[in-house]
A = this chain, B = another copy of it.
Amino acid sequence: MSPRRSFQRAGEEARRAALISATLDLIAEGGPAAATVRAIAARADVTPGLIRHYFATKEDLVAAAHESLMTGLTEAATARLDELTDNPRARLRDFIVASVSPPVTEPRAMALWAASMQLVPRDAAMRRVHEATYLAFRDRLAGLIADALHAAGRSTDTATLRAHAIAGNALLDGLWIEAAAIPDHFSEIDLPELALSAFSRLLNLPLED
């Protein structure tokens, strides 16, 4: 007499979110190999069969998890912007600082990001998600740069603006990646200050406090 386990119904949205969260947790802790359908189900406190009910294949679930991760990182850098002053230069400065500060620079985020990047070259769905989220972040940065330069009375043709956004994005990416990879080594370095200083020279626009 094995009693069938009781359960509660949850909305589709909540269940998908729970499965995605469980997937990210497992990948962060033990890499992609640890994110098996059975482990994911256990972490989300459901049975493995339910995964197939919401995601046709495990690949779909992983892709959805990647999208959730990337948009989450972008939002982490963007979140404080809305509550900020309307001073364009301060907004850009805050965006830069947030991009090289926790939670973005936490090792967990880096491990997840690396796991995703590893799939990008050969998984079309992952590549599409990555490109979309990359461009979303870059466009956001481009807008902030344009506003800051304009407020300083500088003209900005689109080609130059795009180059600034690409380089600035690359700078922020490289900084948070290394800071997350070897936190001990960067603990004694004021990363926000370094980022602001480099950005100031990149745009020829003072950003430091």
Residues on A lying within 8 angstroms of B by beta carbon are 29-33, 107-108, 110-111, 114-115, 117-122, 127, 130-131, 134, 163, 166-167, 169-175, 177-178, 180-182, 185, 189, 194-195, 197-198, 201-204
Contacts and interface: CB of A to CB of B under 8 A. Distances in A.
Contact of A171 (B115, B117, B174, B194): B174
Given A118-B118, A170-B175, 14 more contacts: A32-B33, A33-B33, A111-B120, A111-B122, A114-B114, A167-B175, A167-B194, A169-B178, A170-B170, A170-B173, A172-B174, A173-B177, A201-B204, A202-B202
Contacts of A29: 122
Contacts of A114: 114-115, 117-118, 120
A115 B189 CA distance: 27
A94 B139 CA distance: 30
Given A108-B121, A121-B108, A170 B167 contact: no
A127 B166 CA distance: 28
B107 A181 contact: no
Contacts of A201: 201-204
A21 to B, nearest CB: 19
A194 B163 contact: yes
A163 B127 contact: no
A127 B169 CA distance: 25
Contacts of A131: 182, 185
Contact of A130 (B108, B181, B194): B181
Given A33-B32, A110-B117, A121-B108, A127 B182 contact: yes
A84 B132 CA distance: 38
